[in-house]
Amino acid sequence: MSEASKLAIYLELMARGEADSAVFAAELGLSPAEAEGAWSSLESLGLLRRLRQSQGQPQSHSQNHSQNHGQPQGHGQAPGHGGPPSLESARSETGQLIPVSPEAALLRVLRHHRSLTTHYLRESRDLERALEALIDVYLPAATATRSEVRMSIASGPGELRQAVRDLFESAQETVSVMHDGPTPSLLELRRSLNEDRYLTDRGIRVRRLHLQRHALSTDAVVHFEAALESGVEVRLAPVVPMYMFIADTSMAVLPLAPDEPEEGMAVLRGATLVRSPLALYEHLWQQATPFTPGVPGRDQVELTEEQIAIVRMLAEGVKDGKIARSLGISVRTVSRKISDLMHHLGVSSRFAAGARAAQLGLLDPRSESTPDDNKTGNHPEELLGA
């Protein structure tokens, strides 16, 4: 049915005000299919309301009149087989047709469109939030979890240098380094200072933990002072278990076997693997004594031979009992002498006494050497400088 035909039907219905659907269709000569198509089209535009008898609506007066008085069927033609339906056969499709003005229909369509638009906008916002959560929160977390445990081996000088460079580049907040073994050479100290300055210039906190006996070296003391001026934190400890680098909680480089550096270095990535070495470092760092520059020279502090012997043994981590046996005195006497020595050096701990004496150059230079220092070519620090 054309739009012109539907318009004519609508205008006729508007003129009547309302009509019984069956009677109206019969009067217009519409078949049931044509009538239903017209009503549905007008209804979809909001120009028509239908009140069916099944909804409990009363029949119109014209329908009651047609039921009371009836009209004869067409001769030689059964109902529903071509031609306009009779009023009698149309009564099965009866229902009220109520026209709606175009203005009211337009407002209704606009309200419906606004409702749909609001719904779609709400769904769009929900979808956007879901995408943001998936992309910004869950996907990175899942990716980080999958890549959390990563371990590789740096087995040669080139691989070790690259691993340390990668560690420095990955650092966001803190780089922590632990030095064991022999006192670093002048070349190693210079390289270390360049690394430190590169990191501190980026705003990275740098911590270096050295063996206490490293402070026996004049070159090392000068290096420590220069490092402090660059913003590096330096502490000394009587025992440092291994040579190790740590960047934040994300990466660590440490020996596979601390007693056998030639076995290579383990490169750990991810908080799960880095957590344990970092905890060890933090414990040792808290126990260590900060290196203090600008202390009085040796000519301003005098120690007796016995005090030098005691402080040397303290620097090496020797226990009171062994010190007492070495000097041929009681443990109580050793404790008293150590207390006097700490007061004399202006320190508050036994370890600090050894570190201060080393800074002052009061210890025998021979104490710099240990059997381990005679090893060459194996320590990771030497490999880095290779």
The number of residues making up the chain comes to 386
Angle (nearest 5°) at CA 171 between 293 and 284 = 50
Q: How far apart are CA 289 and CA 235, in angstroms?
A: 5
Whether pTM exceeds 0.75: no
Please check whether residue 274 is in contact with residue 246, taking contact to mean a CB–CB distance below 8 angstroms: yes
Please check whether residue 137 is in contact with residue 258, taking contact to mean a CB–CB distance below 8 angstroms: no
One pLDDT digit (tens) per residue for the chain, 386 residues? 788 888 888 888 888 888 888 888 888 888 888 888 888 888 888 888 888 654 444 444 334 444 444 443 443 343 333 444 444 443 344 588 888 888 888 998 899 889 999 998 898 888 888 888 888 888 777 666 555 678 888 888 888 889 999 999 999 999 999 998 788 888 888 899 999 999 999 999 999 999 888 887 778 888 898 899 999 999 999 889 898 999 998 899 998 887 776 778 899 998 888 999 999 999 999 999 999 876 544 444 677 888 888 888 887 888 899 999 999 999 999 999 988 888 777 666 777 777 777 766 666 544 443 334 434 445 566 556 54
235 forms beta bridges with: 209, 290
Q: How far apart are CA 36 and CA 41, in angstroms?
A: 8
CA distances from 305 to 152, 153, 297 (A): 50, 48, 18
Q: What integer pLDDT is reported at residue 341 of this predicted model?
A: 84
Q: How far apart are CA 93 and CA 22, in angstroms?
A: 6
Instruction: Indicate if 298-359 has the same CATH topology as 152-290.
Output: no
Q: Which CATH architecture has domain 298-359?
A: Orthogonal Bundle (1.10)
Spell out the domain ranges in the chain. 3-100, 102-146, 152-290, 298-359
Which tens digit of pLDDT belongs to each residue from 318-351? Answer: 889 999 999 999 999 999 998 888 877 766 677 7
* Residue 205 neighbours by CB under 8 Å, 6+ apart: 173, 174, 175, 233
Q: What integer pLDDT is reported at residue 307 of this predicted model?
A: 86
CATH number of 152-290, picked from 3.40.50.2300, 3.30.390.10, 3.40.50.300, 3.30.870.10: 3.30.870.10
Please check whether residue 256 is in contact with residue 378, taking contact to mean a CB–CB distance below 8 angstroms: no
Helical pair 186-201 and 218-229, crossing angle rounded to 10 deg: 10
